[in-house]
Amino acid sequence: MMRTVTAFWHDSFLAHDHPAGENEAEWTGRLAYREPHPDRPERMRNVNRILRTEIPERIEWVEPDPATRDQLTRTHEPSYLEELQAFCEQGGGRLTAETGANEHTYRAARHAAGAARSAAEHALSTSDDEVPYALVRPSGHHAQPDRADGFCYLNNVAVAADHVLATRDVDRVAVVDWDVHHGNGTQECFYDREDVCVVGIHNDHQSWDPEHHPQTGNLDEVGTGTGTGYNVNVPLPPGAGDEGYELVLDRIVDPVLEAYDPDLLLVSAGQDPGTVDPLGRNVVTKAGFETLGARIAALAAAHADGNLAIVQEGGYQVSHLAYATLGVLEGVLGIDSDVADPLAWIDEDVESTRRAVADAVDHHAEYWPTLA
């Protein structure tokens, strides 16, 4: 049968916004122009438009219900949810140096978490010919149980994983996160658990805030207690691109998923490893994202009974994000729309990536002998 995508989308995603300033930082008054925050609504407008115009016959659009309080409190502290809701109802502002909110943010975040939950349920309820994709904003993978971080408020993927583990016949969930920034919030949510294995592929950027973002994304952050070994960080050098990311899938993601044998594979799909992204330093092209989509669909078929759900995370070059995300879904669908990448002009640093992957393999082989 022809494979299709079920896309979960809600217009509230466009109403959420951050205060303008100097890129993501607060306005100082030194400059002449208040720059819109990198996480601007136009990101999602462009992705929505390119999917509707280029592959309309392959996508069914569904409006999700918001995540309920009970669903959210499986992942987040009730006191944090109350504080976030009150902050937004009072008009919002800046929560951290880089993360702000307005009066619409909490509603948008609840619908984003609900979209991820619905995508996970859909993956478990339909054949692998229907791939669910949560086209959400705000993103979620930096949100920790008790705090917002990195443009994220509710951890969409974690809410989805906790929901299906609590309500469906699911014992193990794997999360593959290829956003260029370390998914520290997802790591924090499952750091002491073995029922969720998190594989994070990201730039080696360290922590950006010791108070709000204490995790580093280093190789030695492998989990604790019963979760030891189930947090697999793969920090990559600047310049990693198409060949390097496929190498990570070959040497780390594939053998880890084969050994873990999850019932569901969730993908935190941030397309900010893309070439020219202002908040990343990697050079994955649209063709590289097509490969990521094709490979992740094949890995889900091989190791997760075909149960795959994709959840949008970052990507901040408002034009390239749309092309890159189209590439991901083309790869998942096994099609080629003949839309070329208009910004694929930077060569990758393959040798540095190979060394980084070798280091990651050596480190994680203690917990995953299949890597050796």
Residue 84: per-residue pLDDT: 98
Percent with pLDDT over 90 in the chain? 98
For the segment 195-205, the average pLDDT, to the nearest whole number, is 98
Q: Sorting pLDDT into bands at 50, 70 and 90, what band is 169?
A: very high
- Encoding tokens for residue 266? 């969730």
Contacts of 54 (CB under 8 A, 6+ apart): 326, 337, 339
- Average model confidence (pLDDT) across the chain: 97
Query: C-alpha distances in angstroms, 315 versus 73, 74, 173, 213, 219?
Result: 28, 28, 25, 20, 24
Can you give the pLDDT at residue 323?
98
Element (H, E) at 190: helix 184-190
Give the integer Cα–Cα distance in Å for 356 and 10: 39
DSSP 291-313: HHHHHHHHHHHHHSTT-EEEEE-
Predicted local confidence at residue 336, as pLDDT: 86
CA dist 307 and 130 (Å) reads 10
**Euclidean distance between CA atoms 257 and 262, whole angstroms:** 7
111 is a catalytic site residue = no
pLDDT surpassing 80 at residue 221: yes
Which SS3 state, helix, strand or coil, does residue 254 take? helix
Q: What is the pLDDT of residue 354?
A: 98
Q: What is the dihedral of CA 120, 123, 125, 126, to 10 degrees?
A: 160
| Residue 153 pLDDT grade (very low, low, confident, very high; cuts 50, 70, 90) | very high
Q: Give, for 94, the enclosing helix (H) or strand (E).
A: strand 93-94
What is the per-residue pLDDT for 128? 86
C-alpha distance from residue 99 to each of 40, 172, 188, 317, 356 (Å): 12, 32, 19, 18, 30
Is a pLDDT exceeding 80 seen at residue 223? yes
- Main-chain phi, psi angles of 144, to 5 degrees: -100, 170
Q: What confidence tens digit (pLDDT) does each residue in 265-323 have?
A: 999 999 999 999 999 999 999 999 999 999 999 999 999 999 999 999 999 999 999 99
Owner of token pair 């994220």: 152
Q: Do 227 and 194 touch, CB atoms closer than 8 A?
A: yes
Tokens of 221: 């952050």
What pLDDT is recorded for position 349?
96
- Cβ neighbourhood burial of 70 (10 Å; 0-12, 13-18, 19+): exposed
Nearest 5°: CA angle at 169, between 166 and 170? 70
Taking CA atoms, 209 is separated from 184, 259, 338, 356, in Å, by 12, 34, 42, 24
Nearest to 349 by CA among 279, 284, 280, 253: 284
Please tell me the distance from the alpha carbon of residue 116 to that of residue 170, in angstroms, as a whole number.
16
Report pLDDT for 335. 95
Whether the pLDDT of residue 175 is over 80: the answer is: yes
Mean pLDDT for the stretch of residues 72-82: 98
Tens of pLDDT, residues 300-310: 999 999 999 99
Tell me the per-residue pLDDT of 98-143, one tens digit each, with 9 for 90 and over: 999 999 999 999 999 999 999 999 999 999 899 999 999 999 999 9
Helix, strand and coil percent figures for the chain, each rounded to 5: 40, 15, 45
Answer whether residue 1 shows pLDDT above 80: no
User: How many Cα atoms occupy the beta-carbon half-sphere of 9 within 13 Å?
Assistant: 16
Q: What is the pLDDT of residue 215?
A: 98
> What is the pLDDT, as a whole number, of residue 345?
86
- List the Cα angle 219/223/228 in 5-degree steps: 110
Q: Is the N-terminal amide bond of 66 cis, ω within 30° of 0?
A: no
Q: 239 with 351: CB under 8 angstroms?
A: no
Q: Distance between CA 103 and CA 93 in Å, rounded?
A: 9
The pLDDT score that the predictor gives to residue 280 is 97
The catalytic position among 141, 142, 213, 320 is 142
